C-alpha cells in the first residue's frame, strides 16, 4: 500500500491572453463591433460581460484538468453537469497485478496519530481483503466492493470557463469538503494566474 497526496495537472496549453482575445471576438459578433478591438479592449470587454452576468460568451473556451485525488472527492466532482469526464475504472484496473493500491492521505488526520493510525490500519486491511479476493478468483469489478473512498483515482475533467467559475465558487467555499478544498483551491489559484479577468471577482474564503 502506498499513501500519496492529491495533485493536479492542467492538460491544456493555456494562453490566457489569447483566450481573452478569442472571447472578445465572439462577444463582439453580437454587436458587430469588431472595429473597436484594440490593445486592452479584450480585458475591458470580458470584465464587463462577467459583471453584467452575460456569461454565455465565456462558454466558448474550455480547459481540461487531470485530478489525482480520492474517490470520495470525485463523487462530488461528477455532480457538475456541463462537463466531460474520463475516470480511472476500478472495474478494469487490477491493483493486485500492479503490486499495491494507492491511497490518498486524509489531511484532517495527519496531526492526530490515534485517528491516523486507525485509518491506516483500515486501509491495510482493505488491501489485504482486495488481494485475497483476486487470489480466490474474483474479477477486479467484484473485488472492488471492498475498496474505500480513500482509494487514489485519476479523473480528467473538461469544463468550459463558465462552468469552471461555477465549480470554483462551490468547491473553494469554506462549506466544501476539506479534501475538495485541498486540491481545488491551488487549482483555482493556478487558473487565476494563467487566465486574466475571468476569475478575478471570485474570492476564496
Residue 46: other Cβ atoms inside 10 A: 23
Strands (E), the chain: 2-4, 7-10, 62-70, 84-87, 102-104, 152-160
Handedness of CA 151, 156, 158, 162 (dihedral sign): positive
Instruction: Write down the catalytic residue from 79, 171, 181, 194.
Output: 171
CA 58 vs. chain centroid, Å, equals: 19
In angstroms, rounded to a whole number, what is the distance separating the alpha carbons of residues 77 and 188? 14
The verdict on whether 181 is a catalytic residue reads: no
Question: Which residue(s) pair with 158 in the sheet?
Answer: 64, 84
In angstroms, rounded to a whole number, what is the distance separating the alpha carbons of residues 166 and 98? 37
Cell of 128: 489485504
User: Containing H/E element for 66?
Assistant: strand 62-70
Active site members: 171
Amino acid at each position: 500500500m502506498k499513501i500519496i497526496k492529491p495533485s493536479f495537472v492542467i492538460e491544456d496549453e493555456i494562453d490566457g491572453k489569447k483566450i481573452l482575445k478569442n472571447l472578445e471576438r465572439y462577444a463582439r459578433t453580437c454587436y458587430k463591433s469588431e472595429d473597436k478591438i484594440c490593445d486592452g479592449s479584450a480585458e475591458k470587454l470580458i470584465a464587463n460581460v462577467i459583471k453584467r452576468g452575460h456569461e454565455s460568451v465565456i462558454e466558448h473556451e474550455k480547459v481540461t484538468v487531470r485530478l489525482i485525488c480520492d474517490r470520495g472527492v470525485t463523487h462530488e466532482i461528477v455532480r457538475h453537469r456541463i462537463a466531460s469526464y474520463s475516470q480511472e475504472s476500478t472495474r478494469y484496473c487490477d491493483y493486485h497485478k500492479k503490486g499495491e493500491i494507492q491511497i490518498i492521505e486524509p489531511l484532517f488526520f495527519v496531526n492526530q496519530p490515534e485517528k491516523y493510525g486507525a485509518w491506516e490500519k483500515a486501509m491495510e486491511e482493505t488491501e489485504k481483503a482486495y488481494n485475497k479476493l483476486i487470489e480466490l478468483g474474483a474479477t477486479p469489478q467484484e473485488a472492488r466492493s471492498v475498496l474505500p473512498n480513500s482509494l487514489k483515482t485519476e479523473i480528467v475533467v473538461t469544463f468550459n470557463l463558465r462552468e469552471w467559475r461555477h465549480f470554483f465558487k462551490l468547491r473553494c467555499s469554506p462549506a466544501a469538503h476539506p479534501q475538495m478544498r485541498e486540491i481545488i483551491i491551488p487549482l483555482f489559484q493556478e487558473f487565476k494566474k494563467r487566465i486574466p479577468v475571468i476569475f478575478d471577482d471570485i474570492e476564496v474564503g
